[in-house]
């Protein structure tokens, strides 16, 4: 299985493109993070998911898609053993949310990141295990009470086509604008959308401006929130 524990004291000696995965000799004792237990929280069939220590920000476990994402170092990366957003504006929303969800014992929290340099918007869902799983973590794992499940959400393969069409009708969107909106909700950048649709970047940029105006949204992240709120569905349940 292609999973790894990422040691807090590991460094990126091999260069910026390769995260410091520590599998054979993890920085923490083997009993601290039991991969068999943590694998239940991050199944491989799911999108990118990982288990993070809310205090140290060490990645205790990552499923296959999360490992691929960390190797790309975007939108999240491991720097000196700590999980970080690849692009920040000087603030630390990830660290603040991780601390808050544990300190206040709130089951769920979300972060929407508007990554303007890459022209994309994505969400981070934070979940504090509850019930039976929470008891298992606390009894069997070191610092199990501060482990948080983090899921990276772009909306890919999780939009209801019928709901999306209804949304387009409600706001008077053209077919081209609706196409751009659905691709934005899937985490595509404006440059990627232009390439996929075979049009100029300025064309997509203008369509994005019209989407903002028609939906009365202030920024691109508001568009994504709107689509996810009204059109998201279980990606494994057919329409």
pLDDT digits (tens, 9 = 90+) for 79-122: 999 999 987 776 788 999 999 999 999 899 988 887 777 666 78
Residue 212, pLDDT > 80, answer yes
Residues near 60 by beta carbon (within 8 Å), at least 6 away in sequence: 5, 6, 32, 33, 38, 50, 51, 52, 53, 147
pTM for the complete prediction?
Answer: 0.56
Q: How many residues does the chain have?
A: 239
According to CATH, what is the number of the domain 161-231?
1.10.10.10
Domain 35-153 fold: Beta-Lactamase (3.30.450)
Under 8 Å between Cβ of 175 and 69: no
Q: Domain-by-domain residue ranges, the chain?
A: 35-153, 161-231
Residues near 30 by beta carbon (within 8 Å), at least 6 away in sequence: none
- Which DSSP helix (H) or strand (E) runs through 182? helix 175-185
Strands (E), 15-58: 49-53
């Amino acid at each position: 299985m292609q999973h790894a524990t990422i040691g807090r004291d590991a460094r990126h000696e091999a260069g910026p493109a390769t995260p410091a995965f520590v599998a054979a000799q993890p920085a923490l004792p083997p009993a601290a993070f039991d991969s068999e237990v943590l694998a239940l929280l991050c199944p491989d069939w799911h999108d990118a998911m990982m288990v993070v220590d809310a205090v140290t920000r060490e990645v205790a476990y990552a499923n296959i898609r999360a490992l691929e994402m960390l190797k790309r170092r975007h939108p999240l990366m491991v720097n000196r053993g700590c999980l970080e957003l690849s692009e920040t504006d000087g603030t630390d929303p990830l660290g603040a949310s991780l601390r808050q969800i544990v300190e206040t014992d709130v089951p769920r929290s979300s972060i929407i990141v508007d990554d303007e340099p890459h022209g994309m918007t994505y969400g981070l869902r934070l979940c504090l295990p509850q019930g039976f799983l929470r008891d298992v973590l606390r009894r069997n794992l070191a610092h199990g009470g501060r482990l948080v499940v983090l899921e990276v959400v772009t909306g890919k393969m999780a939009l209801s086509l019928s709901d999306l069409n209804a949304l387009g009708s409600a706001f008077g969107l053209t077919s081209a604008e609706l196409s751009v909106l659905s691709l934005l909700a899937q985490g595509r950048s404006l440059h990627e959308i232009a390439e996929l649709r075979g049009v100029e970047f300025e064309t997509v940029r203008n369509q994005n401006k019209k989407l903002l105006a028609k939906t009365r949204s202030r920024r691109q992240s508001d568009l994504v929130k709107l689509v996810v709120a009204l059109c998201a569905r279980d990606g494994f349940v057919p329409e």
